[in-house]
Amino acid sequence: MNYFVDERGYYGDFGGAYIPEMLYPNVEELRQQYQRIIDDEQFKKEFKALLKDYVGRPSPLYLAKRLSEKYGANIFLKREDLNHTGAHKINNTIGQILLAEKLGKKRIIAETGAGQHGVATATVCALRGLECVVYMGEVDIKRQAPNVARMKMLGAKVVAATSGSKTLKDATNEAMRDWINNPVDTHYIIGSVVGPHPYPDMVAQFQSIISFETKKQLKEQTGNELPDYVLACVGGGSNAMGMFYHFIDDQSVRLIAVEAAGRGVDSGFSAATTTLGKEGVLHGSRSILMQTEDGQVVEPHSVSAGLDYPGIGPQHAHLFKTGRGKYVSITDDESLNAGLLLTQYEGIIPAIESAHALAYLEKMEFKGGENVVVCLSGRGDKDMETYMKYFNL
Amino acid sequence: MNRLQQLFQKQQKDLLSIYYTAGYPNLGDTLKIAETLEQNGANFLEIGFPYSDPVADGPVIQASSKQALDGGMTLHLLFEQLKDLRQKVTIPILLMGYVNVVLQYGVEEFCKKCREVGVDGCIIPDLPMYEYEELYQPVFEKYELSNIFLVTPQTSEERIRKIDALSNAFIYLVSSSATTGSNLALSTQSSDYFKRIADMELKNPFMIGFGISDKATYDSANKYASGAIIGSAFVKNLKQDDLEGSIKEFMVQFSV
């Protein structure tokens, strides 16, 4: 079974490039160039150097002792929260900004939900001196004011998406419309493993540093580079794909992707895409998405803005359909409690997104001695207001 | 030969096509608008079936789509509304919308329904060419539907040749790289682009759309193409409380 992208840009039944003709030349240019650029020695050198000296990689793989005692397994945390800007998102934006430069692009656009990808994009644009426009849903702008301020301070222009539900999917639509209207000088940095081919593959490759390092670190710490389980949360699915990437072909490693159940999968306020969704096309690729009978995209809900997306990346859809990955979901309440638990057991306040992955540990049964890696994709600073309200802090 | 192909066989000059969103401004207006447009000189029509995430569209079509969806428009309902289409309207009709809605309806079922109610073709902007060739073309041919491809100023000559080979009615020339409803005046750059396409001597005629909003832009498009397509400007002008009046008022500028 091939779990990676094929020559046509598909993962089994999923992927492809479902885009209007106006986007075709841009996406086609990227398709023809991306692998050559990524494999170029000079590019690799620059990418590696920035990840090391600017992002602070490798991120630690930390054996959480008290958590391990509680669950009866060796729980390792891959500390993407310690990256510059506080999450895994920067791995991708560093890669894409270098790629945009090689393509001769002068202007960068991005979409953002909670603002993490927007901040990571604004950061690399400041670093390289490129113009930056970030599209963000009007609703999200109101609920994520600190990140809006960070982007502005970094020199980005933040444009409110006022169409549709005024959240992440609408911000993505607006970014695509901007790209249609600026077909020559602009590169669109998509923040997750979604979008038309080659985006899902390109973003996965940039994020694959997560599992690449994990393998080495596990080998050093346990003598075995392969864990029994890896867990990660999934919105579009970029940290999960980074966490899974180098383990996908090792069938002994069980891949667990944790989606946001919101207030419960049957509540009508959920983002559990694989449970509630059907096959279809969203934002340029064939995947699984939450939609009505008529094919209209349904508005998702999650307490964590980063998981509040009605689809998943096409490679995830393929891992789900083939059974290679196990896709589960965790409610708002469960995730917030898991966030508090990690804070009090290990002194680490996680992003609510990452807390979804942690919450699933509670539902697993261990024989004892298994090695489990959880991707701690981001830190909880941005979520303090939500934690404060929920726990009356 | 479907109505659209017959039209282009008969006439390849000064054609006027109007786009509007099904279910807007009122859910039940779809057929009434078609009738009124035919009476007021439109040569063929594009009826949009709305989608929640129309990335190729600007604010006017987005808003009309949202209002139609909020009002309860679905593809099932649209086919129901078009049941008596051919008793009331004789000009060619295209359906225009995004691929996910067609996928959920079922490609074969969609084409069959189009044929049944008397639709002559489709514009599905996010349907990839390779997928059309592999999966859609045989079904489209079976039900005598024409697929309309878009071409932009950035489309390569090689790709335009391929689109020409796959087309059997007309090619939709997007006037500039933009979403629908942009106010870009047709520039010298766009006339160079139209001339370049005209000089390619394609087997299919072409129509110019995007940014055509009035008599002046319609006339300049007509210098190069078989006609022009107006969408956003028409939709923007529709009045909920005076549907027929607002259509007549808009169309009168094009009558000679």
Task: For residue A262, report the phi and psi dihedrals to the nearest 5 degrees.
Answer: 60, -130
Per-domain residue ranges for chain B?
13-249
Contact A283 B151 (CB under 8 A): no
Q: Work out the mean pLDDT of chain A and round it to a whole number.
A: 96
Which of A8, A180, A283, A285 has the most B C-beta neighbours within 10 Å, making it the best mutation to test the interface with B? Answer: A180
Query: Which of B101, B128, B152 is closest, CB to CB, to A295?
Result: B101
The sign of the torsion formed by the CA atoms of A231, A232, A236, A238 equals negative
Q: Is the pLDDT of residue A126 over 90?
A: yes
- Reported pTM: 0.97
Q: Which residues contact A177 (CB under 8 A, 6 or more apart)?
A: B55, B56, B58, B179
Question: Annotated catalytic residue: which of B38, B46, B120, B164?
Answer: B46
Distance from CA of A280 to the nearest CA of B (A): 6
Closest CA to B208 of B13, B34, B51, B24: B13
Looking at residue B183, what is its pLDDT? Answer: 65
Interhelix angle A116-128/A89-102, nearest 10 degrees = 40
**What's the rounded mean pLDDT across residues A18-32?**
96
Q: Which residues contact A51 (CB under 8 A, 6 or more apart)?
A: A57, A91, A94, A209
Is B219 noted as a catalytic residue in this protein?
no
Looking at residue B176, what is its pLDDT? Answer: 83
The answer to whether B149 faces chain A, any CB pair under 8 Å, is yes
* CB interface of B with A, residues 11-40, below 8 Å: none
Distance from CA of B59 to the nearest CA of A (A): 8
* % chain A with pLDDT above 90: 94
Q: Which residues contact A36 (CB under 8 A, 6 or more apart)?
A: none
Looking at residue A145, what is its pLDDT? Answer: 87
Locus of tokens 């510059």: A84
How many Cβ pairs closer than 8 A exist between chain A and B? Answer: 110
Half-sphere exposure of A272 (CA within 13 A, CB side): 21
Distance from CA of B73 to the nearest CA of A (A): 9
Query: Which of A16, A173, A183 is closest, CB to CB, to B55?
Result: A173
Alpha carbon distance, N-terminus to C-terminus of chain B: 30
Contacts of A295 in chain B (CB under 8 A): 51, 75, 100-105
The answer to whether A18 faces chain B, any CB pair under 8 Å, is yes
The answer to whether B195 faces chain A, any CB pair under 8 Å, is no
Looking at residue B184, what is its pLDDT? Answer: 61
Contacts of B177 in chain A (CB under 8 A): 22, 180-183
CA distance linking residue B24 with residue B70, whole number of Å:
10
CA distance linking residue A110 with residue A187, whole number of Å:
9
Is B57 noted as a catalytic residue in this protein?
yes
Distance from CA of B63 to the nearest CA of A (A): 8
CB neighbours of residue B111 within 10 Å: 23
Contact A333, A341 (CB under 8 A): no
What is the band of A44 on the pLDDT scale with cuts at 50, 70, 90?
Answer: very high
Q: Which CATH superfamily is domain B13-249 in?
A: Aldolase class I (3.20.20.70)
CB neighbours of residue B59 within 10 Å: 16
The answer to whether A27 faces chain B, any CB pair under 8 Å, is no
Cis, peptide link before residue B25, omega less than 30° from 0: yes
Q: Is the pLDDT of residue A119 over 80?
A: yes
Task: For residue B20, report the phi and psi dihedrals to the nearest 5 degrees.
Answer: -150, 160
Cis, peptide link before residue A58, omega less than 30° from 0: yes
The DSSP output letter for A53 is: I
Counting beta carbons within 10 angstroms of the beta carbon of residue A135, is it exposed (0 to 12), middle (13 to 18) or buried (19 or more)? buried
**What's the rounded mean pLDDT across residues A310-329?**
98
The answer to whether B75 faces chain A, any CB pair under 8 Å, is yes
What is the band of A301 on the pLDDT scale with cuts at 50, 70, 90?
Answer: very high
Q: Is the pLDDT of residue A74 over 80?
A: yes
Looking at residue A167, what is its pLDDT? Answer: 84
ipTM of model: 0.96
Q: Strand, helix or coil at B199? A: helix
Contact B103 A281 (CB under 8 A): yes
Q: CA dist A248 to A95, A211, A229, A252, B33, Å?
A: 22, 10, 11, 9, 55
Give mean pLDDT in consecutive 10-residue pieces for chain B, a chain of 256 residues. Answer: 97 97 98 98 98 94 96 98 98 98 98 98 97 97 98 96 98 88 72 93 96 92 95 97 97 90
Provide the pairing of β-strand A325-331 with A229-233.
Answer: unpaired
Looking at residue B187, what is its pLDDT? Answer: 73
Q: What is the tens place of the pLDDT at every residue in A332-374?
A: 999 999 999 999 999 999 999 999 999 999 999 999 999 999 9
Across the beta sheet with B227-230, what order do the strands follow? B146-147, B121-123, B93-96, B44-48, B15-21, B227-230, B206-209, B171-174, B150-151
